[in-house]
Amino acid sequence: MSRKKKNRDEDQVDRGRSIGGIIALVIFLAVVIGIGSLIMKGINKVNYYKNFNEAYKPGDDTQIEFTIKRGESYNSFAERLMVEGVIEDKDIFIMKTKLLGLGPSYQAGDFVLSPSMTMEEIMAQLQDAHRETVRFTIPEGYTIVQTAEKLAADGFISSPESFYDALENYNSDFHWFLLDLEEQYQDPQKKISAVVNKYEGFLFPDTYEIYKGSGPKIIIGKFFDRFEQIFTDEMKDAMDERGLTVQEVVTIASLIERECRDDAERPLVASVIYNRLEQDMNLELDCAIQYILGDPKVGLTYSDLEIESPYNVYQNKGLPPGPIASPGLASIKAALFPEDTKYLYYVLKSQSAVTHNFAETYKEFLKYKDQYKATP
């Protein structure tokens, strides 16, 4: 080998070593910088974690009503604390909870929190749900407006408007049945917005126990939690088999609720509704007209039946655009599991009765109608 070739080979080796060294140095520096960044992030997180006096928004005294459900894990409600704007970082809350062993200490209940509270204050409050409780009852067939007015009259909320405002701003992401509700119309009396009206039918009527001083948001959450509890997987399957949305199911159930006072007859009334829909007949239900009027009338007039409204099922085919009241469990079950009949009509047996005569033909319907008119 010539001396010149040997020198060239040695130069190439030296250059290769130099380039390799540079690459190694670059990789080393990148690793050091990456590790340093992670360390700094870790230090910052640990520092924040250690600081029990840190608040998400120290100057923000907004009152946020918050509920921990029975059996709910702290991983679950930590996510909601962050979504509701009480804390900035759910991981910090979870990490502190684990380190301090607070998991079993958190209590199911209703709380009023604020982003101005420190993490320590929030954790302390979530461990103390022992407060005086009060009970209230919402009857079956109540509307949103009736519900809000009753709660206000009984002193559970400051005003119906505070209830409407809480519904307007309610975070529906945590309830499956609220995710696809369609916002279409205001109520016929225009007392609530279209946003609020889309929740019509879902304030499940029942007796509730709440902590004294609970605000409208917590009360609304109770309604929705109960609806989710009573709407079983079997009912979801029946809904899917019929090709209905949950809003359509509750709409049908609300019509049954307002048309019928005898639980045994609810599946029969449901069969009439389905049979008329299948035959493309107008539903012609008085309860929908009463909903439009707002103040119930003893007897409807022909002019009442001609009111222009999307809820007028005398004038419009199909279902009204949404529920007209909050149905009870018996009506919801009837909407999902109707009797198999050929009935197309029903009439009260007498003017003082609560049960009906059911008819398959118009001729039979007229006979029962005459009997009804002849009674005192």
Residue type, 216: P
Q: Which tokens sit at 145?
A: 């407006």
CATH number of 64-125: 3.30.1490.480
- Residue 260 identity: C
The pLDDT > 70 percentage for the chain reads 86
- Contact between residue 68 and residue 107 where contact means Cβ atoms under 8 Å apart: yes
Domain locations along the chain: 1-50, 64-125, 135-343
Residue 25's pLDDT is 57
Q: How far is CA 279 from CA 272, 318, 327, 365, in A?
A: 11, 10, 25, 17
pLDDT at 19: 58
Spatial contact of 281 and 319, defined as CB atoms under 8 Å apart: no
Closest CA to 50 of 103, 115, 95: 95
List own/partner pairs for 227-234 with CB under 8 A and 24 or more apart: 227/175, 227/177, 227/202, 228/175, 228/176, 228/177, 230/204, 230/329, 230/332, 231/177, 231/332
With a cut of 60, say whether residue 32 has pLDDT above it.
no
> Do strands 207-211 and 109-113 pair parallel, antiparallel, or not at all (unpaired)?
unpaired
Q: List, for residues 196-243, the tens digit of each pLDDT value.
A: 999 999 999 999 988 888 889 889 999 999 999 999 999 999 999 999
When pLDDT is averaged across residues 293-301 and rounded to a whole number, the result is: 85
Residue 36 has a pLDDT of 54
Taking residues 258-281, what's their average pLDDT? Answer: 96
Whose tokens are 């085919």? That residue is 317
The residue type of 355 is T
Please report, to the nearest 10 degrees, the dihedral formed by the alpha carbons of residues 221, 222, 225, 226 taken in order: -150
Of 100 and 168, the structure prediction assigns the larger pLDDT to 168
Q: Is the pLDDT of residue 10 over 60?
A: no
How does residue 24 score in pLDDT terms, banded at 50, 70 and 90? low
As a whole number, mean pLDDT of residues 158-187 equals 91
Q: Kindly report, residue by residue over 53-72, the tens digit of the pLDDT.
A: 578 888 787 888 898 988 89
Residues 6+ apart with CB under 8 A from 6: none
Supply 297's token pair.
């009338």
> What are the CA-CA distances from residue 203 to residues 192, 198, 334, 364 (Å)?
15, 11, 18, 38
Q: CA–CA distance from 40 to each of 27, 55, 375 (Å)? A: 20, 21, 86
- pLDDT tens across 312-371, in order? 999 999 999 999 999 999 999 999 999 999 999 999 999 889 999 999 999 999 999 999
